[in-house]
Chain A
Amino acid sequence: MLAGAPGRPSLLPGMKEFFSGQAARMTVSIPEISAVSWSSFMTGTQAGDHGIYGFVDLAPGSYQVRFPDFRDLKAEPFFIELGAHGKRSVIINLPATYPARPVPGVLISGFVALELERAVFPARYLPMLRKAGYQIDVDAGKGRDRKAEFLADLHYALKVRQQVADRLWKQEDWDVFMFTVTGTDRLQHFLYDAYTDERHEFHSEFRGFFHEVDKAAVDFLQRAAARPDLEVVALSDHGFGPIRSEIYLNQVLKKNGFFSSEDPGAKGLPGISGRATAFALDPSRLYIHRKGKYPRGVVADADYEKVRRDLRDLFTAYEVGGQRAIRRVYYAEELYAGRQLAAAPDLLLLSEPGCDLKGGMEKDRETGTSHFTGMHRQDNAFLACSRPDLIAASPTIFDVKGLMYRLLAI
């Protein structure tokens, strides 16, 4: 968005100018979703260390879905680690930090926080946040069929968050100040088509929201620039692009004989049959149905490599509309290492732009479209810094914590 989509002007021209066009294109985690990417950002590690592989996971030895949160993070986030160096942080709206833990400074958790009471440390800021009308997130359900209301909510949430940030900027004693904007993600999921289509009913509203974000960002950037003791880092946890097709991985597995249900009426993963050799979890994670690991697991250790190879072959060759859909199929150990590796998916898919991968357990076909028009991209996030000389040649989200520590002389 700093650079703009191909052939289009930047949606964040103020930020682009501030960083003198020196922002770098950054790759992020796989899967390229907030829970994993922000966990990687805040710990400087990949999921094999921090243990967050997605918004959902399976309880060990079962088909029971669970929702990992901040309590499941197995590596230390920078804003806690920095306390040991006498540094205080103010962290506003950072996803994957719910429920809030005590931190040296202030933490206001972002998505998927449920209750404000458990999303804020220290609790003394609760009355201020309530009075200001602070919202953890907008109701994304409105993005589907109440778009005007959705846009108004996005503006309101941004404005209040900015007011709160302004107050904490002045009031708190901090060494690191972080303000996360999530409204742009919400907007692009539902209205990416409004960005690329100038005749779209919400085209100018789409640009208008980015304009507000740009103004808010520049306001903080200029304040920071006015202080010689501050350096600035800006980044996104993933990029964005238009959706050409959604691909429902469990249906692909079913069609190719990897997945089957116990009986035709069985729903979801708990209904998986003892003949199934693989299944998928959102958005792009493949698991081999191993004997001893899952209650009805069928793949013996001796057959594991063959099933893995077959899956890699299947998805490497997979096409939608005559075009290759999967850019690369990874084995877990190609992406991850560390103490949490045992919990990793067996294979990970990185899609080609436009191919939005989903588990799609309940779908009745392999591909389709929906009301979503924009999807995350792993390869076009951005990283900018007031010290561009410190940015690595091909930066990744795993490098940002190290960059911050260099700026803090740690």
Chain B
Amino acid sequence: MKGVTVWFTGLPCSGKTTLALKLSAELKKRGIQSEDLDGDITRKYLSKGLGFSKEDRDENIRRVGFVCSLLTRHGALVTAAFVSPYRSIRDEIRGMIGDFVEVYVKCSLEKCIERDVKGMYKKAIAGEIKNFTGVSDPFEEPLKPELVIESDRESEEESLQKVLGKLEELGYLKPVGKDIVVPDYLRLDLVKMLAGQNFPDLPTFVIHILSQYVAQNSGPTDLSQSEEDAVREKLKKLGYIS
């Protein structure tokens, strides 16, 4: 599979990390291990010492972008959830990474404040935190993101499906079929058939078993009268039956 960085940008508490983690969990179900990066991790290990001035913020994102570019180049699916408020640095890392899907997690300031369990917005409004995006520092909305999520209007599941759909549409994910319920009797029959078999891979085994199952359970030909008539007509036209 081709690598890609899914970059979630938006105001603090807009739902970026929540959505990135849901995406990561869904990918795991599909057998894809993603690399998940967010501000809490990178500010501890990658950008320790950087502050929240525009320069420091840009430098933080540049370093994260560089890590993303390495991972992406080696085929990883990276989720990155960062406020990343400035358009110019987002565009810069887009160029650096190449396979880059920008997801703008849009949410009203009121809703973000309502969700703010750590009370950061409150502190920012009180002037206790400087350069806080949305309060004392601007958030420059993406002009052409690949996807816009309206996290104050959509359910988390709807947002997740939109992200998955976009990644499938862009060819970074293979679409999956809908789950089908396998009846117990069929499951047990399949398990019995599995005993002692040695196949190179699971899909080959499953197809082989299905084929055997169809052959063993279809019994004698059971054509309807109209099907019989259709076969008879075809054979007569070619002189195969007289």
Q: A-side interface residues toward B, CB under 8 Å?
A: 33, 55-56, 59, 66-69, 71-73, 80, 83-86, 88, 101-104, 111-112, 114, 137, 139-141, 143-144, 186, 189, 248, 282-283, 356, 358-363, 370, 372
Contact = CB atoms under 8 A, between A and B. Distances in A.
Contact of B208 (A59, A83, A111, A372): A83
A248 B238 contact: no
Interface stretch (B73-81, B107-115, B224-232): B224-232
Contact of A359 (B199, B223, B234, B242): B242
B105 to A, nearest CB: 34
Contacts of A80: 208, 211
A78 B201 CA distance: 18
B194 to A, nearest CB: 13
Interface string B200-217: 110110011011001100
Given A71-B215, A72-B220, A102 B207 contact: yes
Contacts of A283: 240
Contact of B214 (A55, A102, A358, A359): A102
B240 A282 contact: yes
Given A56-B241, A283-B240, A83 B227 contact: no
Contact of A112 (B203, B215, B219, B235): B235
30 contacts: A55-B240, A59-B220, A67-B231, A67-B232, A69-B221, A71-B215, A71-B218, A71-B219, A73-B215, A80-B208, A83-B204, A83-B208, A84-B204, A84-B208, A86-B204, A102-B207, A102-B210, A104-B204, A104-B207, A104-B208, A111-B234, A112-B231, A114-B231, A137-B234, A140-B237, A141-B237, A143-B237, A283-B240, A358-B242, A370-B239
Interface residues of B, number: 29
Contacts of B242: 248, 282, 358-363
Contact of B221 (A67, A102, A140, A141): A67
A114 B227 contact: yes
Interface of B: 199-201, 203-204, 207-208, 210-211, 214-215, 218-221, 223, 227-228, 230-232, 234-235, 237-242
A102 B208 CA distance: 7
A55 B235 contact: yes
B227 A71 contact: no
Contacts of B220: 59, 66, 71-72
Nearest to A124: B177
B241 A83 contact: no
Contacts of A69: 221, 223
Nearest to A141: B237
Contact of A101 (B203, B211, B237, B238): B211
Contacts of B238: 140, 186, 189
B177 to A, nearest CB: 9
Contacts, number: 93
B204 A101 contact: no
Interface centre among A83, A139, A362, A363 (most CB of B within 10 A): A83
Contacts of B215: 71, 73, 101
Given A71-B219, A72-B221, A84-B199, A55 B241 contact: yes
Contacts of B234: 111-112, 137, 140
A337 B197 CA distance: 29
Contacts of B230: 114
A71 B221 contact: yes
B190 to A, nearest CB: 12
A69 B204 CA distance: 24
B221 A66 contact: yes
A314 to B, nearest CB: 20
B228 A86 contact: no
Interface centre among B200, B218, B234, B240 (most CB of A within 10 A): B240
Contacts of A66: 220-221, 223, 228
A140 B233 CA distance: 10
Contacts of B241: 55-56, 282, 359
- Give the one of B201, B219, B221 with max A CB within 10 A: B221
B227 to A, nearest CB: 6
Given A67-B231, A69-B223, A186-B238, 8 more contacts: A55-B240, A56-B241, A68-B221, A83-B211, A141-B237, A144-B237, A189-B238, A356-B239
- Name which of A73, A84, A103, A186 has the most chain B CB atoms within 10 A of its CB: A84
Contact of A67 (B214, B223, B237, B239): B223
Contacts of A186: 238
A103 B204 contact: no
A86 B199 contact: yes
A274 to B, nearest CB: 24
B186 to A, nearest CB: 13
B196 to A, nearest CB: 12
Nearest to B223: A67
A38 to B, nearest CB: 13
A50 B107 CA distance: 67
B239 A372 contact: yes
Contacts of B221: 66-69, 71-72
A330 B97 CA distance: 74
B125 to A, nearest CB: 55
A88 B38 CA distance: 43
Contacts of A356: 239
A66 B232 CA distance: 10
Nearest to A189: B238
Among A67, A144, A359: residue with most chain B CB under 10 A: A67
B211 A102 contact: yes
A86 B199 CA distance: 7
Nearest to B234: A112
A144 B236 CA distance: 12
Given A71-B219, A101-B214, A140-B238, A83 B199 contact: yes
A108 to B, nearest CB: 16
Nearest to A371: B239
